Amino acid sequence: MTESAFIHRYEPATNAGSPPLLLLHGTGGDENDLLGLGKMISPGSALLSPRGRVLEHGMPRFFRRLAEGVFDEEDVRRRAHELGDFVADARRRYGIAAPVAVGFSNGANIAAALLLLKPEVLAGAILLRAMVPLSDPPRNDPAKADLAGKPVLLLSGQADPIVPASNSARLAALLSQAGASVTHKVLPAGHQLSQADVTLARNWIGNVDEKAA
């Protein structure tokens, strides 16, 4: 296994016009977790779904944390670069365009880090219950943090016990300052996903797809 390799699932597109999705699970999930969500959000899209390579008490994650809500930021940076290399390899292997990331919780956090550290890897992102991944993001380095109108949907839970409202608002501002076109909605939900998340994500990606066409 190469350094950038991940255990993953790949399902080819059944609709050539639908954007490929990079599915990034939460803590304790795996490469199968978000396949159903991906199909609901964007029927016909190619689906690329890796398993996080870090284990926390036996549960897969995409990077280490020191405590709940406290990230090992050196590991965040290293793992984001590894994931970016994997996506680049997978694009060549499967012949797909830059994907839209769909991340939940830990997966949304690594997707946010990927946007800030390797923005060229993603065409956009749907961040479900995401937090600010880096306390010192590379916003002063335009080569790294120029998101140039890249579409991002951030869906937060009003009653989320893990992600404070101030943190998700700071993430939205951070991505906007880097040039992303951010839509941030706060739902009457906790940390778990709701039907509203699915509906909003499906409508948003449909609008992004129409603009791209």
- Over residues 39-76, the pLDDT tens digits come to 999 999 999 999 999 999 999 999 999 988 889 999 99
- The whole-number pLDDT of residue 4 equals 54
- The whole-number pLDDT of residue 3 equals 46
- The full 3-state SS of the chain, as one line of letters, equals CCCCCCCEEEECCCCCCCCCEEEECCCCCCCCCCHHHHHHHCCCCCEEEECCCEEECCEEECCCEEECCEECHHHHHHHHHHHHHHHHHHHHHHCCCCCEEEEECHHHHHHHHHHHHCHHHCCEEEEECCCCCCCCCCCCCHHHHCCCCCEEEEEEECCCCCCCHHHHHHHHHHHHHCCCEEEEEEECCCCCCCHHHHHHHHHHHHHHHHHHC
Among residues 18, 42, 105, 156, which one is catalytic?
105
Mean pLDDT in the chain? 92
Active site annotation includes 8: no
- Tens of pLDDT, residue by residue over 103-142, are 999 999 999 999 999 999 999 999 999 999 998 766 545 4
Among residues 156, 160, 168, 197, which one is catalytic?
160
Q: Which pTM does this prediction carry?
A: 0.94
- Tens of pLDDT, residue by residue over 156-176, are 999 999 999 999 999 999 999
| Superfamily (CATH) of domain 8-212 | Alpha/Beta hydrolase fold, catalytic domain (3.40.50.1820)
Active site annotation includes 166: no
Domain boundaries, the chain: 8-212
Active site annotation includes 25: no
Among residues 30, 191, 194, 209, which one is catalytic?
191
